[in-house]
Amino acid sequence: MDAPKLTISDDDYPELEAVAAIQRGLHSYNQERGGPYDREPVTVLARDENEVVKGGLLGLTYWNWLFIDWLWLSSGVRGQGLGTELLTRAEAIARERGCTDAYTDTFSFHAPKFWQRNGWIEAGRLDGMPPGHSRIWYRKKL
């Protein structure tokens, strides 16, 4: 049987169906190779007395891992231990779900010492991304 003829095109604004097809296809392939995973969100928020979000952590748990995608604090609340509180809560959620490990990636201008103080170790680095800085991957045994 001949392979179907395909066309390749650029698309700056892909339709949601096209994006969903790619996501479904990759998730399916990943589960065929790595086993099923139930991706569950991890969301920990810090709000002020007016319920305005001043920081938070967004991530996922799957394959017994916690992946932290975003950790942010507004400038007015940094340096008060709030980041550690958010991180500790996310790690507790992950442990409750049976996770044994965690990973994230960040930039060298995003307080790498914060991650190290909280027991995370560097697992990889791309220097020059962006120029003059590095992208750093961290991991932690939970």
Q: What is the pLDDT of residue 101?
A: 98
Q: What is the pLDDT of residue 113?
A: 95
Q: What is 39-141's CATH topology?
A: Aminopeptidase (3.40.630)
Q: What is the pLDDT of residue 38?
A: 85
Q: What is the pLDDT of residue 37?
A: 85
DSSP structure class, residue 101: E
The low-confidence residues of the chain, meaning pLDDT below 50, are none
DSSP output for 41-97: EEEEEEE-TT--EEEEEEEEEETTEEEEEEEEE-GGGTTSSHHHHHHHHHHHHHHHT
Q: What is the pLDDT of residue 41?
A: 98
Q: What is the pLDDT of residue 85?
A: 98
Q: What is the pLDDT of residue 1?
A: 73
Q: What is the pLDDT of residue 142?
A: 98
61-71 pLDDT, tens digit each? 999 999 999 99
